[in-house]
Structure 1
Amino acid sequence: MDTLNMRTGGEGEPAVLFLHGLGATGAVWAHLTELVPRRVLVPDLPGHGPSAPLPHYSFETLTTAVARALPGSGPFLVAGHSLGGVLGLELASGKYDVEVAGVLALGVKVEWTQDDLGRAATFAARPPRVFETQADADQAYLKVSGLLGIAPADPAGLRETEGGWRLAMDPAAFGVGAPDMPALLAAARCPVVLAAGENDPMSRPEQLCALDPDAVTLTGLGHNAHVEEPAAVRALLGRFGV
């Protein structure tokens, strides 16, 4: 069975599964999980932090790895950020023998240009860059994960290697492509809440509202709203009875 590095804590069912975005680790949820009176499951996605890489990255292979790492078949509530939000919706399709009671998809990028996809493919094809100092690698980690200026680097997101430090993330993970959000939303077998920060440059609130008129705009927040203001995202979980 495939395993992922998994942070756990708390008590109470259904458990809440927190899925981070591309380039980050589960550490981004630390302050939010403290506010949740439930059992929490916080994996590092494949190819991130200490979790092993995959031979091929797609929304399906990533979701399969998450499903295999879960303790049981649920039900689970899922809170996913960016890439993690896509995986939460994929998990809610019923294709993975996991029962999902609800999905909060935060900051999902729903509109992709050919330039966007080209840049992602270029990043995916590059070998990991080696930095001379840990401080330089810290800065690179924060830029890749969108956390510069709002959170410290997670030491688990770095790896010491010959000649210095590199990001623990497998660059090939950038190659997942663009999600088919209308299809994912249509296939979800549970309630879904879409949300984005008012100032999120990647997930524009008006784009989410085009998919779902009830999508939530988080005033004054950016792409990593769960890090900037955990209580605001915690309140959205209240829609699922948490």
Structure 2
Amino acid sequence: MTVHVRRGGPDGPALVLLHGLGATGDVWRAVTDAWQGRWVVPDLPGHGRSAPLPEYTYDSLATALAPVVPTDHPVVVLGHSLGGVVALALGSGNFGPSAGAVCGLGVKTRWSEQELAKAAELADRPVRVFATRDEAAERALKVAGLWQLVATDSPLVDDALVESDDGWRLALDHGAYRVGAPDMPALIAACRARVVLAAGARDPMCPPEHLFATAVGTGADTVVLPGLGHNAHVEKPDALAPLLARLRASLDPPADH
């Protein structure tokens, strides 16, 4: 299993950033600047420059990504949407490395039968080839929920596209749509790390009322980011600084009294 990873930052606690469906690790570029320590940003399997999986489940994604999680430093895992569910799975410690804190940002917690059927239909669609890069980039941005947030000529789109002799296609493996709805109560219950659930106040996929309802009785903390939507980390990266500081502080041992 080949996972493409970007790494950087000074020595210190490690931040692992997991992107959402259809995106790549490049969406976190501006967020890594706010972290005082090491950072690790993979492309999820079947996305960007990472190899696809034969089957997509939250466990198979966590298994593939576990080797990139540092084991020599305290770790925070922050994931967006699909990546947020994988962050929770990694927080269980069942896949090897452990984390001190995990955060799911913009995780869709409620799925209708129609939405799941639509995802299955998308998984079965043949790969579409576009005549131009701009056409393919527009489609990639729409799939990732980044249309009108990121320009089609942005370098943030580069790894989401593949050029071939007959045109351009998305790097995304359509099989990833089959991952299904997450069992959030079970994932949170199994998590050994501190759990934070966050979302933009205007996130249509994870409205605050869904966020709060999911957290009730689980011990998870909740954070609502004012004025932001589903891709808060791209819309206003600076707005995540307090969230990162909160996650970073959770790695510190309690003070003696």
Question: Which TM class, normalised by the smaller chain length?
Answer: over 0.9
State whether structure 2 residue 232 is matched by structure 1 residue 233: no
Counterpart residue number, 2:119? 120
- Tell me if the contact between 1:73 and 1:97 (Cα under 8 Å) persists in the aligned partners: no
* Partner residue, 1:168: 171
Structure 1 CA distance for aligned equivalents of residues 215 and 50 of structure 2: 34
Higher mean displacement: 69-78 or 187-196:
69-78
Report the counterpart of residue 81 of structure 2 in structure 1: 82
Matches within 5 A, 1:9-28: 9-28=8-27
- Map 1:17-166 → 2, pairs under 5 A: 17-72=16-71, 75-152=74-151, 153-166=156-169
Any conservation in 2 of the 1:3–1:69 contact (CA below 8 Å)? no
Contact kept, 8 Å, 2:14 with 2:70, in 1: the verdict is no
**TM-score (norm: length of structure 1):** 0.95
Q: Distance in 2 between matches of 1:240 and 1:25?
A: 22
> 1:129-182 CA deviation, whole Å, 9 max, x = no partner?
111111100100110001111123521110012421000010111110000001
Report the Cα offset of residue 71 of structure 1. Answer: 4.5
What are the superposed Cα offsets for residues 106-136 of structure 1, whole Å, 9 maximum, x if unpaired? 0000000000100000111112111111110
Structure 2 Cα separation of the partners of residues 63 and 73 of structure 1: 19
Q: Which runs of 5+ in 1 are unaligned?
A: none
| Amino acid paired to 1:223 | H
Q: List 4+ stretches of structure 1 deviating above 2 A.
A: 68-75
1:73 CA displacement: 6.5
What's the CA shift for 1:67? Answer: 0.4
Larger Cα-atom Rg: 2
Q: Secondary structure at the match of 2:198?
A: strand
1:196 aligns with 2:191: no
* Percentage identity across paired residues of the two chains: 51
Secondary structure of 1:160 counterpart: strand
TM-score by length of 2: 0.90
Please give the alpha-carbon distance, in whole angstroms, between the structure 2 residues aligned to 1:17 and 1:71.
Answer: 9
Deviation at 1:76, TM superposition (A): 1.5
**How far apart are the structure 2 equivalents of 1:106 and 1:41?**
17
One-letter code aligned to 2:244: L
**d(CA) in 2 for partners of 1:182 and 1:71?**
26
Question: Is the contact made by 1:89 and 1:105 (CA closer than 8 Å) also made in structure 2?
Answer: yes
Aligned length: 241
Q: Distance in 1 between matches of 2:232 and 2:78?
A: 12
TM-aligned CA deviation for residue 234 of structure 1:
2.2
Question: Matched residue of 1:233: which SS?
Answer: helix
Report deviation, 1:220: 0.8
